[in-house]
Amino acid sequence: MIGRRVVAQAQNALKVQARNSSSGLNFALSPEQEELRTTVRKFVQEEVIPVAGHYDKTMEYPWEVVKKLHTMGLLNTEIPAAYGGLELDMVSNCIIAEELGYGCTGIATAAVANGLAEAPLIIAANDDVKKRFLGRMADAPIMAAYAVTEPIAGSDVAGIKTKCEKKGDEYVINGSKMWITNGGVADWFFVLARSDPDPKVSAGKAFTAFAVDANTPGIHVGKKEINMGQRCSDTRGITFEDVRVPAANMVGAHGEGFKVAMKTFDKTRPLVAAQATGLLARCLDVATKYSLERKAFGTEIANHQAVQFILADMAMNLEMCKLMTYKSALEVELGRPGSYFASVAKCFSSDMVNQAATNCVQVFGGAGFNTEYPAEKLMRDAKIFQIYEGTSQVQRMVIARQLLARVKQNGCY
Ligand SMILES: Cc1cc2nc3c(=O)[nH]c(=O)nc-3n(C[C@H](O)[C@H](O)[C@H](O)COP(=O)(O)OP(=O)(O)OC[C@H]3O[C@@H](n4cnc5c(N)ncnc54)[C@H](O)[C@@H]3O)c2cc1C
């Protein structure tokens, strides 16, 4: 329970920090956040790193780790206090995601995906939906899933075909979702469906979102997908066949679902960036340690300048990832519209962790290509960061759209 105490103390730490900063800039974490980092780091060393290889090989869902995270108070930390959660600030949530990402991004994704399902409810659901769906998360280590992507559309969310029709005080949902993290273990889903069949109606008015109990008749969960990396994370297709959902389960107003689903990413992309940053730090540590042990041409490879430059690039990019990740978290915490910084952080960290993971394999040479050494798992795990929660191309579209609008309006960025 030490984690629960520490994370509770970390609440409001940001505001205190902002008041104490005399220079206007303060990159230091509060003592509570430092303690939180130490707690999670210890947990990761003792409970995540030793089992990460096992879960990668077996592809088993990491239930034992998830249960321990829940006991420590390190799962679902963003849920508001009014619904039994810790209501932790975004910076603290990023600390948890970064440290878990250092240990194993497969396990981290399994845990952090709960936040992706919970965020739209926190943003837009009424009190009753929050009580019923968020309230249950505090009591037990149960999982949730964000079900938006479909076989036919991922980047183009407005192109999804799952539909919902209002019948009395219920909606009937039909359609298929794809690549849903936690799909096979979820207790409930956040679901986006088209409520207006008229293709001329804009996305902002054509979709409605729901919280849906996973045991509702008509929900069929597909097989666990076998992915390149993060293999213990549970990714599935979910089919909805005449699934009757009470209208009372709507998340936000009828027709507002698309906006709710998109706003969610402002809160969750910093957490994805944090996981990628954690993985980058792991690549740097693993590659640097190996370079100090492995000899070539009569000396440790760390003494070869070409190897040093690879490590220096990783170190520079790690520092930049940390800055952007925590800046994006702070923007959200301070209530500023966050999509620009969230996309900058998510895109940069995702691209840089892929560069670092490839170079980590390079530093290991032949051993980097082998499953007995850590580098190849890190490289397999890294790739997904450029794909889920919006591809790197989609992030650049978000960034460019806002950049162009600002320059048109103000004449500069
Ligand atoms: C392991 C995993 C877990 C996931 N978890 C979830 C989840 O929990 N919930 C959920 O809803 N979804 C989830 N997804 C889905 C994920 O968000 C999508 O895969 C992603 O958004 C990309 O969509 P897509 O696969 O349909 O690719 P597409 O949209 O078909 O894109 C294919 C390629 O084209 C590029 N592209 C597309 N449009 C443009 C454009 N206009 N300009 C430039 N390039 C473009 C893309 O960047 C990409 O490189 C997950 C996916 C994976 C693989």
- Expressed in angstroms and rounded, the spacing between residue 149 Cα and the centre of ligand 1 is 8
Confirm or reject: Cβ of 38 under 6 Å from ligand 1: no
What percentage of residues in the chain have a pLDDT greater than 70?
95
Distances (CA, A) of 270 to 174, 328, 393, 399: 32, 6, 17, 14
Q: Label residue 13 by pLDDT band (50, 70, 90).
A: low
Q: Which residues pair with 174 in a beta bridge?
A: 163
CA–CA separation, 264 vs 287, rounded Å?
Answer: 35
Give the other-Cβ count within 10 Å of 406's Cβ. 13
- Choose which residue among 61, 118, 149, 238 to substitute to test ligand 1 binding: the one with the highest number of ligand atoms within 8 A of its C-beta: 149
Cβ(106)–Cβ(247) under 8 Å? no
Which atom of ligand 1 lies closest to the CA of 397? 42
Confirm or reject: Cβ of 43 under 6 Å from ligand 1: no
pLDDT of the residue at 6: 54
pLDDT reading at 46 higher than 70: yes
- Choose which residue among 155, 157, 230 to substitute to test ligand 1 binding: the one with the highest number of ligand atoms within 8 A of its C-beta: 155
CA–CA separation, 214 vs 234, rounded Å?
Answer: 15
CA–CA separation, 203 vs 211, rounded Å?
Answer: 20
pLDDT of the residue at 8: 55
pLDDT tens digit string along 101-157?
999 999 999 999 999 999 999 999 999 999 999 999 988 999 999 999 999 999 999
Q: Give the closest residue to 378 by CA, choosing from 278, 252, 261.
A: 278
- Expressed in angstroms and rounded, the spacing between residue 259 Cα and the centre of ligand 1 is 18
What percentage of residues in the chain have a pLDDT greater than 90?
91
pLDDT reading at 281 higher than 50: yes
CA–CA separation, 129 vs 118, rounded Å?
Answer: 11
Lowest mean pLDDT among 25-29, 65-69, 228-232, 299-303: 25-29
The gap from C-alpha 43 to its chain's centroid, in whole angstroms, comes to: 19
Angle, nearest 10°, between helix axes 105-124 and 90-103?
160
- Expressed in angstroms and rounded, the spacing between residue 28 Cα and the centre of ligand 1 is 35
Phi/psi for 408 (5° steps) reads -60, -40
Active site residue ranges:
389
pLDDT of the residue at 245: 98
CA–CA separation, 385 vs 34, rounded Å?
Answer: 26
What is the set of domains in the chain, with CATH numbers?
2-142 (1.10.540.10), 145-258 (2.40.110.10), 262-410 (1.20.140.10)
Cβ(245)–Cβ(321) under 8 Å? no
Distances (CA, A) of 83 to 42, 92, 133, 138, 184: 28, 19, 9, 8, 25
Q: Which residues, 6+ apart, have CB-to-CB distance to 349 below 8 Å?
A: 272, 273, 274, 276, 277, 280, 321, 324, 325, 385
Lowest mean pLDDT among 2-6, 30-34, 224-228, 300-304: 2-6
Confirm or reject: Cβ of 384 under 6 Å from ligand 1: yes
- Choose which residue among 272, 387, 401 to substitute to test ligand 1 binding: the one with the highest number of ligand atoms within 8 A of its C-beta: 387
pLDDT tens digit string along 305-343?
999 999 999 999 999 999 999 999 999 999 887 799 999
Which atom of ligand 1 lies closest to the CA of 394? 47
- How does DSSP assign 174-211, residue by residue? EEEEEEEETTTTEEEEEEEEE----TTS-HHHHEEEEE
Region 355-374 average pLDDT? 97
Phi/psi for 266 (5° steps) reads -60, -35
Distances (CA, A) of 361 to 11, 74, 291, 306: 39, 31, 11, 15
pLDDT reading at 20 higher than 60: no
